[in-house]
Chains A and B, each alone.
Chain A
């Protein structure tokens, strides 16, 4: 199962159109990206990329930029 494009994955998990997610998106400026969806998003990243995030990473990765950093740290970004 190939990992999808990150922006598409984020939009699909938040339940919003892909056009609403950009490289500048984060929890404060993106519709539906609340604390509940943040957990959904982090666990979806784990499932899609076959990685396990630490609690700190799950909290810190609250923007597209930070998610990319975390994925790079796991060698999948």
Chain B
């Protein structure tokens, strides 16, 4: 029988699952599986995640969520084998670093092209200007509309604390103490390996259902596993230079290139493409 650690989480759970699958010390002892909490459909509980899938689950790593227990989480609890250990952890999000995450009607029509909204860029989407003039206009508009970022940080921190209250592995203090000196986020919802690694190690430390000696070895192996890993970097939304300045991000590089699937763009190149909703798969 293969014992399973089941991860119930948003896409950050996939990172944890992959970490688990590739640490040598757990390879012949524990299988890691992930149920994407943001995508699961009710019928999946009878098909993909039925009794055969759940039978060998000995540990659940459950990402916490504010609000009442929804039908999917209830379905999960109903199907867990008796005695299954549950270790809860908070999600990591960072709207404060992308303060114009908001209204862009184009996303509803074409959700996959640029899924991380910028409402100020959307406002400029009908402008017919050259690159420099359009970029200057975006910088002017965003500078005039830049909110109080410390307040935005406080709003995010309140959300982190709300989910931390239900979690064994908490994130609020750690993110607040780390984000200025270490890049933790590629987008407001996607994390770097510098964020997923410590979370993975904390979960291993907290989980009694994994042999302590193996867990200790796996924790030691994690840094090597992730040394060259960038985390969820298939879409990296550039940081606005004024955001970096006002938040005091010491790791910020104004000339940095940001991966966008098969491309690497500067902040300016990304913003111009976003404003124009430019295709990038041609």
Contact = CB atoms under 8 A, between A and B. Distances in A.
Interface of A: 1, 4, 8-9, 11-13, 15-18, 35-36, 39-41, 43-44, 46-48, 55, 58
Which of B108, B122, B147, B152 has the most A CB atoms < 10 Å from its CB? Answer: B108
B111 interface: yes
26 contacts: A4-B103, A11-B105, A12-B102, A12-B108, A12-B117, A12-B119, A13-B102, A13-B117, A13-B119, A15-B108, A15-B115, A18-B105, A18-B108, A35-B65, A35-B67, A36-B93, A36-B189, A39-B95, A40-B102, A41-B102, A43-B102, A43-B147, A43-B152, A47-B119, A48-B103, A55-B158
B117 A43 contact: no
Nearest to B120: A47
B261 interface: no
Interface of B: 65-67, 93, 95, 99-105, 107-109, 111, 115, 117, 119, 122-123, 145, 147, 152, 155-156, 158-159, 162, 188-189
Contacts of B67: 35
Contact of B103 (A35, A44, A55): A44
A63 B159 CA distance: 19
A63 to B, nearest CB: 14
A36 B111 contact: no
Contacts of B188: 36
A7 B26 CA distance: 50
B105 to A, nearest CB: 4
